[in-house]
Amino acid sequence: MIFLWSPANNRAKQDHMKQSASTVSLSEKMNASTPEMTLEQVLTTYKPLLLKVINSYCQAPEDRDDLMQEISVQVWKSLHRYDGRVKLSTWLYRVALNVAISHHRKQKKETTESLTQVIEAPPPASENPQVAQLHRFINQLDEFNKAIILLYLDDLSHEEISKILGISKSNVGTRIGRIKEKLKQAFTQHKTQD
C-alpha cells in the first residue's frame, strides 16, 4: 500500500484503518506547489534531518536502526494529525525528537549506564578536536537544553525551535544564551586543565 500526501483526503489515514484500500494524500497540507510524495519519499528526503536527531540520542548503530524504524512508524501513525500550519521539516523534527527522547528514557530505565554513555554520539571522523570537544560538552547537557542547542546548530530560527519544543520565542533566545555561556565556561575550564 502506498500512502500519498495531499489535502484531498484529510482523514484517509483513519479511513485506512477501516478500509485497507485508502490512500493518504497530503501535498495540499504541505504546500499547494509541493508535488505529492509517498511516505517513503518523505522519509528519504528528510533522512539527513532524522539522522541528526538519531545520532544525538543513540550511540550504538543497532539502536540507531531501531530508532529510525520507530520514527518511521510514528510518522506513519501521525500523518493524519499533520495540518500544514508548520513546515513539514519542522513537524518531522518534532516527531523524531519526541520518539528519540522516549527511546532514550526507555533505554535509561533498562540499563545502568550513565546518561553520558547512553546519549553521547560519536563525532564524525572529519571533525577537528575543538568540534569533537563541543559535541562532548553538548552531550553533557540535560535533554531539553541539548535539544535546543542541536536545533539551533541546525540553523533553525527561534520561531521554528519554539514551535518544535512548545516554548516561547523569547524563552528559546534566553535558553540559547545560557547554553552558549555554559559551553563557553566548559571550554575555558577544559583549557585551564590542559
pLDDT value at residue 64: 87
Tell me: the pLDDT tens digits for 107-138?
766 643 443 443 344 545 456 788 888 888 88
Average pLDDT, the chain: 74
pTM of the model: 0.54
Mean predicted confidence (pLDDT) in 17-45: 56
pLDDT band at 92 (very low <50, low <70, confident <90, very high): very high
Tell me: the pLDDT tens digits for 39-76?
888 889 999 989 988 888 877 777 888 899 999 999 99
Q: Measured between alpha carbons, how far is 129 from 148 in angstroms, rounded to an integer? A: 23
Q: How far is residue 73 from each of residues 78, 86, 94, 101, measured CA to CA in Å? A: 9, 21, 14, 15
pLDDT value at residue 73: 92
Rg (CA), the chain: 19
Mean predicted confidence (pLDDT) in 154-167: 86
pLDDT band at 19 (very low <50, low <70, confident <90, very high): very low
Q: Measured between alpha carbons, how far is 38 from 27 in angstroms, rounded to an integer? A: 10
Strand partners, 26: 5
Report residue 193 as a C-alpha cell. Answer: 586543565
CATH number of 123-194: 1.10.10.10
User: Is the model's pLDDT at 26 over the cut of 70?
Assistant: no
Q: Are 101 and 88 in contact (CB under 8 A)?
A: no
Q: Measured between alpha carbons, how far is 3 from 171 in angstroms, rounded to an integer? A: 37
Q: Are 3 and 76 in contact (CB under 8 A)?
A: yes
